């Protein structure tokens, strides 16, 4: 997509502070972090949301979860813990219409969801 900021980051048109980079996925620090560690994990190809990637490329969606785990390992937060957030659609709070996960860690997160 021509106007998608995450596509521009994936294509290196906009600089980012990379944490992880593979042929299919990348992770980079959020420009407005909410915790000491706050990275965004995206597929490099444009998918609008989870339904989009699962319905068109289910194997890629499985590899995306492995990439999330790889990023958590790279950041050394697997043992202490982290929060993984994905917003979907306008009502879900998705502000960039490119599938992405927020990995948040580095402090005890005080919001408890059950």
Q: Is residue 28 part of a domain?
A: yes
* Number of compact structural domains in the chain: 1
Is the residue at 99 inside a domain?
A: yes
Catalytic residue among 29, 38, 46, 100: 100
Residue 83 in any domain: the answer is yes
Asked whether the beta carbons of 101 and 84 are under 8 A apart, the reply is yes
Report the pLDDT value the prediction gives residue 1, as an integer from 0 to 100. Answer: 64
Per-residue model confidence (pLDDT) at position 108:
87
The range of the structural domain enclosing residue 50 comes to: 5-105
26 found inside a domain: yes
- The pLDDT assigned to 109 comes to 85
**100 annotated active-site:** yes
Asked if the structure places residue 111 within a domain, the reply is no
Q: Is 64 part of a structural domain of the chain?
A: yes
Asked if residue 40 belongs to a domain, the reply is yes
Q: In this structure, what CATH number is given to the domain that contains residue 51?
A: 3.30.428.10
pLDDT (tens digit, 0 to 9) for every residue of the chain, 114 residues total?
679 999 999 999 999 999 999 999 999 999 999 999 999 999 999 999 999 999 999 999 999 999 999 999 999 999 999 999 999 998 999 999 999 999 999 998 886 665
Cα–Cα distances in angstroms (integers) from residue 33 to residues 7, 40, 45, 90, in the given order: 20, 10, 24, 21
């Amino acid at each position: 997509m021509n106007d998608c900021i995450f596509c521009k980051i994936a294509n290196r048109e906009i600089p980012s502070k990379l944490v992880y980079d593979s042929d299919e996925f990348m992770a980079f620090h959020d420009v407005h972090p909410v915790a000491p560690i706050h990275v965004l994990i995206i597929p490099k190809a444009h998918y609008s949301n989870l339904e989009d990637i699962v319905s068109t490329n289910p194997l890629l969606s499985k590899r995306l979860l492995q990439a999330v785990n790889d990023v958590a390992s790279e950041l050394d937060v697997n043992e202490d813990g982290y929060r993984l957030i994905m917003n979907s659609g306008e009502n879900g709070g998705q502000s960039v219409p490119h599938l992405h996960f927020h990995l948040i860690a580095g402090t005890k997160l005080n919001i408890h969801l059950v």
